[in-house]
Amino acid sequence: MKSKLSLRKNLATGLERLRIQSASSDALLQLSLAGLFTGIATGVVIVAFILVVEFSLTYFLNIQPENFEGLNTLSRVLAPILGGLLLATLFHFFAKGQGVGIAHVRERLHHHNSDLTLRGFIMQFIGGSIALISGQSLGREGPSVHLGAALGSLFGKSLHLPHNTLRILLACGSAGAIGAAFNTPLAGVIFAMEIIIAEYAVGSFVPIMISAVAATGISRWFLGNEPFLSIGLVPSASLQEIPFLLLLGILVGIAAASFIYIVRRSSEITANWNLFKRYSLAASITGFTAIFLPQVLGVGYDSLNQAILGQLSLVTLIVILVMKLITSSISVGCGLPAGLIGPSFVIGAVGGSFMGLVLDQALHLPVESSGLYAILGMAAMMGACLQAPLAALIAAFEITA
C-alpha cells in the first residue's frame, strides 16, 4: 500500500515538475519529447484517416480514390447530395455549433487558449471522412490539421500543461498532419509557423520540426515514400518568360480574391440557415455540376496531375478552373467539414496550365513547359488564399519532388 502511495506521489511530483519546466524558456528537451509523442500520434491518426477514405471509395463506391469520373451520372449527383444530408444530420444531433478545419484551429489557439475538444476531434474524423468519400469539392488537409492540432491540445491538457505549451503542441500536431497527409515534413513545419502560430521562434521550431518528421515517418512506413505528385522533370523558365510569370501571378491573385469573396459571401448569406439548408445547397451545386463535369468531385488531384503533364485541352482547363472555384468556395463558405488547400492547388494548376498552353499554342510565344506554369500557379493560389507564400512555395517543392 505504501509503495503504491509512494509511486502516485512520485508521479504527481514528476508531472508537476514537468508543468513548471515546460513553462520556462529553457524547456526545449521537454517540449521536444512532447512534440515527438504528438507527431507519432498524429501520424497514426492521419494514416487511419486516409485509409478509411480510400478503403470506402474502393469497396463501397467501387472506384479508385479521386476517380469519381468512373461513377455513372446518377451516382455523381446522388453521392455529394446524400453525403451532405448525412453530414447535416450528424452535426445537427451530435455537434451543433462545433467548428472544424484550419480556421477553427486558429480561432481556438488565439482566443481560447489552444483548447480543442475530444468531441470536435471525433466529429472532424467522421465528418471529414464522409465529406471526402461522398465527393464534396474539398480537400483533406483541413480535417488533417484539425485532427493533429486536437491531438496536441488533448495531450497537453491531459497533463495539465500551461497555455504556452499547449500552443506549441497544437502547432506540433498541425505540422505533423500536413507532413503525414502530403509526405511533406518541411512544408508542415513552415505551415504551422506561418499559418497556425504566425511566428518563427527557436523555442517552438525544434519540437514542431520533430513532430513533422515523426508524423511523416509514420506515414511513409504505412503508405510508402513516393512523392505526392509523380510528374518527372519539368524544364526551368527562361529569362524571356519572366513577364509571363508575373502576369500569371496577377491572374492567380485575381482568382484567389474571387475564391475568398465567394467564400465570404456564401458564409454571410447562409449564416442564419440551418445545417440542412447550408450543406444541401453546397452539395447540390457540386452534384449537379458533376453531371457534365465530374472533375469537380473530390479534391481533384487527378486533374491537377493531368494539368501539370499537359494532358487536358484548353476548353477542359478553363471549365474546370471556373467550376472548381465556384463549387469549392461555396462548399467552404457553407461550412462543410473539409479543407480548401487541395482545391486551391487544383485551381491554380489548371489556371497555370491554361495560360502556358495559350502562350505556346495560340500566341506561339517562347514557353518551356506548361507544366511549370501549372506548378507555379498551384503554389501561387495556395499562397494567396492562405496568405502564406513561403509555406506554399515549400509545399510545391516537396509535393512534386
Rounded Cα distance between 397 and 361, Å, is 27
- How does pLDDT run across 163-221, given as a tens digit for each residue? 888 999 999 999 999 999 888 899 999 999 888 887 777 778 899 999 999 999 999 99
Q: Compute the Cα dihedral for 346, 349, 351, 357 and give only its sign.
A: negative
Using DSSP's 3-state secondary structure scheme, residue 45 falls into: helix
DSSP type of residue 237 = P
- Predicted confidence at residue 6, as pLDDT, reads 57
pLDDT tier at 253 (50, 70, 90 boundaries)?
Answer: very high
Residue 205 has a pLDDT of: 87
**In sequence order, what are the beta bridge partners of 177?**
none
Residue pLDDT, tens place only, 268-287: 999 889 989 999 999 999 99
Q: What is residue 216's DSSP assignment?
A: H
Statement: residue 356 has pLDDT above 90: no
pLDDT at 254: 95
Q: Which residues of 241-265 are buried (b: 16+ CB within 10 A; e: fewer)?
A: beebbeebeebbeebbeebbebbee
Average pLDDT over residues 51-70: 82
| pLDDT given for residue 83 in this prediction | 94
pLDDT at 232: 62
What is the rounded end-to-end Cα distance, in angstroms, of the chain? 59
H or E element, residue 395? helix 389-400
For the cut 70, the answer to whether the pLDDT of residue 25 exceeds it is no
| pLDDT at residue 40 in the model | 96
pLDDT for the residue 127: 93
Residue 132 reports pLDDT greater than 90: yes
pLDDT for the residue numbered 234: 64
**Over residues 9-33, mean pLDDT:** 61
Q: Is the pTM of this model over 0.85?
A: yes
**Contact (Cβ atoms closer than 8 angstroms) between residue 203 and residue 153:** no
Residues in Cβ contact with 179 at an 8 Å cutoff, skipping those fewer than 6 apart: 39, 43, 185, 187, 188, 189, 212, 213, 215, 216, 219
Distances in Å between the Cα of 64 and the Cα atoms of 298, 333, 389 are 12, 28, 32
Q: Which pLDDT value is given to residue 301?
A: 83
Mean per-residue pLDDT of the chain: 86
Q: Which residue has the higher pLDDT, 229 or 157?
A: 157
Given a cut of 90, whether residue 363 has pLDDT beyond it is: no
| pLDDT-derived band at 144, boundaries 50, 70, 90 | very high
Does the structure show a pLDDT above 60 at 142? yes
Q: What is the pLDDT of residue 269?
A: 93
Q: What one-character-per-residue DSSP string does 265-321 give?
A: HHHHHTTTS-HHHHHHHHHHHHHHHTTT-GGGSS--HHHHHHHHTT-S-HHHHHHHH
Average of pLDDT values for 240-257? 90
> Does residue 4 have a pLDDT over 70?
no
Q: What is the pLDDT of residue 113?
A: 84
Residue 213: name the closest of 257, 244, 243, 180 by CA. Answer: 180
Q: What is the mean pLDDT of residues 90-101?
A: 79
The yes-or-no verdict on residue 325 having pLDDT over 60 is: yes
**pLDDT top residue among 143 and 28:** 143
234: left (phi over 0), alpha (psi -120 to 50) or beta: beta
Of the pLDDT bands very low, low, confident and very high (cuts 50, 70, 90), residue 24 is: low
pLDDT at residue 3, as a whole number:
56
Predicted confidence (pLDDT) at residue 82 exceeds the cutoff of 90: yes
